[in-house]
Structure 1
Amino acid sequence: MSEQTNPSTDIPNPGRVYDYVLGGHHNFEADRQAADFMISLLPSTPKWVRILRQFIGEATRRLVAEGFDKFLDLGSGLPTADHIHSFAPDAKVIYVDKDPVTVAYGMQILGGNPNVTYIESDIRDIDAILASPTITEMFGDDRKAAIGVNAVSCFLTPEENKKLFQALYEWAAPGSKLFLTVESKNPELTTPQLDQFVGMFEQMGDAYYFITVEEANEMVKPWRPDKNGYKTLAEWLDIEDLFVPEDHEGVELEFYGVFLEKK
């Protein structure tokens, strides 16, 4: 990636930071410096980032097996390191991200794949996203969709999340499913390192909110968890033995995944 100086690339971006942590090459020096500092604060960061991406793969495989062939992914970041289209090559996929540099490089990475496209938009503008020509062209009157909201609800306030999930529920057809990750910790615990870590996201332009599973279950209504309920990502991926107490960073840090349904 060319490293021409401009305001968009001098400031780290969460999607490109994730790309770097995942071993990708579509990032800039500012992203790499931010990622390295964040890892110095929370050494378990690479492990959590990797399982977030692995859960996307697991969720996609499950939903393809259930017959879903249209995916809408919100707050997508870059389509590298095994994103949705890698696991659903015959499906139609729309990625949404607010960062113009991420979208531009995302389209370049996809290389003209006719099944995949991007919408450049902030997911806070969900009504505009759902009314966009790109969405209308793909879904038409058939709005049975698989929807991804992964590692992104943590950047929204409770009110913004409630608006997001309500709008998605009203738009989606019965039978639709939404796969969600919940970034959680003990609300009564923190450390100076965690506070600095969260502060790094604020410097990138986004607040970062940890929530409990109970809070998540309230904010997603009227979506309902499927029969599997909320599980840790390690449980979904059957890798619980890879985690040690230190990975929870002294604050009971845990990431959960859930499949939500519209009956």
Structure 2
Amino acid sequence: MTQYDEYSEYGEYGEYGEAPSGVDPNTPSVARMYDYFLGGKDNFEADREAAKKLIALVPNLPEFARANREFLGRVVRFLAEEGIDQFLDVGAGLPTQQNVHQVAQAVAPQARVVYVDNDPIVLAHGRALLAGSPGAVVVRGDINDPEAILGDPDLRAHLDLSRPVAVLMLSVLNVVPDDARAEAIVAAFRAAMAPGSYLVVSHGYTGEVGSATDREVREVYRGSSAGSSKPRDHAQIGAYFDGLELLEPGIVPVAAWRPEREAEAEIDLSRPNILAAVGRVP
């Protein structure tokens, strides 16, 4: 049994007992819904019901979630091979296989990683997983308060922001409904990144899903702990990279960002998906 396995029973509390302190099992959590999409069990009945409603509306959601996770592994490995040895994962979500520190440290054993989230179960799992792993820490933080995240003393003790760092924001900006605020959040992180740093973003994209389905999807997320989920278009996602050097292949579906299998490089922007891009601070 690993340290992570000891905490894997959290998902069963929804059926058999009390939820951990500080956790509301009756309000769906975006992190736990994502865990369900990935086939995990660290979720409650409310999370599963909300996730099933979303799958009924957008049947490819589990596929997109898996592709998003695979993109994370590819991009972290790429950046570590490029010499990046500091990673800040904002909205990290529940631990699963091949987490950021594991992928990065397989290439660069000295790599240091800070995970940021505000979900109590994510924090508990992360701290259990990272016990005895000096290269990685988890801190509490809210995407809506980038200044507090960047000023966190544990983060500052672990990362040297005067050196290049990779800031990972995977499927987290969706929970910021105001477009201007989302851009301001990303701009705050960009301003703190030294030359040679990288910004990595993945973001929900509606394609031609139709306004009725879009409204129903947003209604499900409105009942979650996040309170919203706002998909954005190609141009809006591109604005997050203002002033950065956008790496090839640009803004594409996550499965098409430098895929290991050429068949996955197909780019179809007519259907819902998760788009991804990587930019370098000049």
TM superposition score normalised by structure 2: 0.83
Among 234, 238, 254, the alignment partner of 2:273 is 254
2:256–2:265 Cα contact (<8 Å) kept:
no
Q: Partner of 2:25 in structure 1?
A: 9
| Shift in alpha-carbon separation, 1:35–1:96, aligned structure 2, 3 A | same
**CA displacement, residues 87-130 of structure 1 (integer Å, 9 cap, x when unaligned):** 11322111111212221222223344222211111111101111
Root-mean-square deviation (CA, aligned residues, Å) is: 2.5
The aligned runs of 1:1-263 (5 Å cut-off) are 1-2=9-10, 3=13, 4-6=17-19, 8-89=24-105, 90=109, 91-140=111-160, 142-156=162-176, 157-186=178-207, 190=210, 192-204=212-224, 205-236=226-257, 237=259, 241=263, 252-263=271-282
Question: Aligned partner of 2:182: which letter?
Answer: N
Question: Aligned partner of 1:232: which letter?
Answer: P
**CA displacement, residues 123-151 of structure 1 (integer Å, 9 cap, x when unaligned):** 11101111111121122353310110111
1:22–1:81 Cα contact (<8 Å) kept:
no
2: CA distance, partners of 1:200 / 1:261: 35
2:256–2:266 Cα contact (<8 Å) kept:
no
Question: Aligned partner of 2:243: which letter?
Answer: P
TM superposition score normalised by structure 1: 0.88
The answer to which of 209-218 and 144-153 deviates more is 209-218
**CA displacement, residues 46-78 of structure 1 (integer Å, 9 cap, x when unaligned):** 101100111000100100110111100111111
2:256–2:264 Cα contact (<8 Å) kept:
no
The answer to which of 98-107 and 230-239 deviates more is 230-239
**CA displacement, residues 206-258 of structure 1 (integer Å, 9 cap, x when unaligned):** 3111111112222432334124322222222255746999x98xx62132211
Unmatched 5+ stretches in structure 2: 1-8
Q: Partner of 2:5 in structure 1?
A: none
- Give the length in aligned residue pairs: 259
2:161–2:194 Cα contact (<8 Å) kept:
no
